[in-house]
């Protein structure tokens, strides 16, 4: 059972918009920034979003992050087949003094 | 260009100690605001953070695994080493090392995020 809760799966057709949620608490998302990682099949995770809504250089602006209270979201617009991957949220947990990850969301492009 | 690569045994026996080495290039682990961490992923499961060593030598460990973990750095070799004692089959996972950067105008461990990852190394624990 992960400290951060994500839906196990999400899907969308090419060109559509999809959002992935990440629910936490006041001890993690509510008081610290959220990062998102994309893990393509058989590869290492890649940083997609940091500090709630910042994109590293090279990440397309089709990807965006937002946060409100103790929840965060990753939005992908103009869905492409190459976006099919697992997506993880992560945040620092104050009381555990620990980085915590969500359980991951498997995105399927229909 | 920042790159990291993990190395170590692919198979360890229960109760043995695992030693993994992360060899990196493109940065110095002594640079202010930099850290190197370890994260693992059991087959088909989620990511789990293990440990992080900061540029100033400070260290953080997962509370649930703290008694079994040691992280060290060797600046001259551009390496960070993780040891995990008393290995168990449940520790079977792909182990990743990752470069970590501190957010600007922020202090403390919470301010770091993992921005470059190694390819990972699968470690199987079995007799």
B69-95 pLDDT, tens per residue? 999 999 999 999 999 999 999 999 999
Q: Which residues of A touch B118 (CB under 8 A)?
A: 44
CB contact (8 A) between residue B113 and residue A101: no
CB contact (8 A) between residue A104 and residue B46: yes
CB neighbours of residue B107 within 10 Å: 9
Chain B residue with minimum CA distance to A47: B115
Residues of chain A with pLDDT under 50: none
Rounded to a whole number of angstroms, the distance from the CA of B48 to the nearest CA of chain A is: 7
CB contact (8 A) between residue B96 and residue A44: yes
Tell me how far apart the 2 most distant CA atoms of chain A are, in Å.
41
CB contact (8 A) between residue A98 and residue B113: no
Beta bridge partners, B59, equal: B53
Q: Which of A46, A50, A103 sits opposite B113 (nearest CB)?
A: A50
CB contact (8 A) between residue B96 and residue A45: yes
> Do A20 and A49 form a contact (C-beta atoms < 8 A)?
no
Q: Which residues of A touch B60 (CB under 8 A)?
A: 97
CB contact (8 A) between residue B47 and residue A50: no
Query: β-strands A34-39, A85-93: how paired?
Result: antiparallel
Q: What band does B106 get if pLDDT is binned at 50, 70 and 90?
A: confident
Percent of chain B with pLDDT strictly greater than 90: 93
Query: β-strands B34-41, B93-102: how paired?
Result: antiparallel
Looking at residue B105, what is its pLDDT? Answer: 83
Which of B46, B94, B108, B121 is the best mutation test for A, with the most CBs of A within 10 A?
B46
Looking at residue B23, what is its pLDDT? Answer: 98
CA distance A4 to B91: 21
3-class SS of residue B66:
helix
CA distance A68 to A16: 23
Looking at residue B45, what is its pLDDT? Answer: 96
pLDDT digit string, tens, across residues B43-62: 999 999 999 999 999 999 99
Tell which A residues from 72 to 101 touch B, by Cβ distance under 8 Å.
Answer: 88, 90, 92, 94, 96-101
Q: Which residues of B touch A50 (CB under 8 A)?
A: 103, 113, 115
Residue B104 has pLDDT above 90, yes or no: no
CA distances from A18 to A103, B91, B127 (A): 18, 34, 45
Q: What band does B108 get if pLDDT is binned at 50, 70 and 90?
A: confident
CA distance A65 to A54: 7
Which pair of structure tokens corresponds to residue A1?
Answer: 């059972």
């Amino acid at each position: 059972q992960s400290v951060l809760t994500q839906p196990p799966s999400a899907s969308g057709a090419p060109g559509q918009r999809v959002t992935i949620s990440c629910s936490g608490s006041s001890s993690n998302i509510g008081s610290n920034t959220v990062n998102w990682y994309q893990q393509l099949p058989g590869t290492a995770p890649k940083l997609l979003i940091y500090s709630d809504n910042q994109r590293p250089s090279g990440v397309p602006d089709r990807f965006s992050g937002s946060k409100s209270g103790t929840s965060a979201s990753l939005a992908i617009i103009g869905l492409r087949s190459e976006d099919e991957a697992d997506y993880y949220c992560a945040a620092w947990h104050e009381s555990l003094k620990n980085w915590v990850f969500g359980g991951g969301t498997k995105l399927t492009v229909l | 260009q920042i790159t990291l690569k993990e190395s170590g045994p692919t198979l360890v026996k229960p109760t043995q100690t695992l030693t993994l080495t992360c060899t990196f290039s493109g940065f110095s682990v002594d640079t202010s605001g930099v850290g190197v961490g370890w994260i693992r992923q059991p087959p088909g499961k989620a990511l789990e953070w293990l440990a992080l060593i900061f540029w100033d030598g400070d260290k953080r460990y997962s509370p649930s695994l703290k008694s079994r973990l040691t992280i060290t750095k060797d600046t001259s070799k551009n390496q960070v080493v993780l040891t995990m004692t008393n290995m168990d089959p449940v520790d079977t996972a792909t182990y990743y090392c990752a470069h970590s950067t501190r957010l600007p105008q922020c202090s403390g461990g919470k301010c770091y995020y993992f921005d470059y990852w190694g390819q990972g190394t699968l470690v199987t624990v079995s007799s």
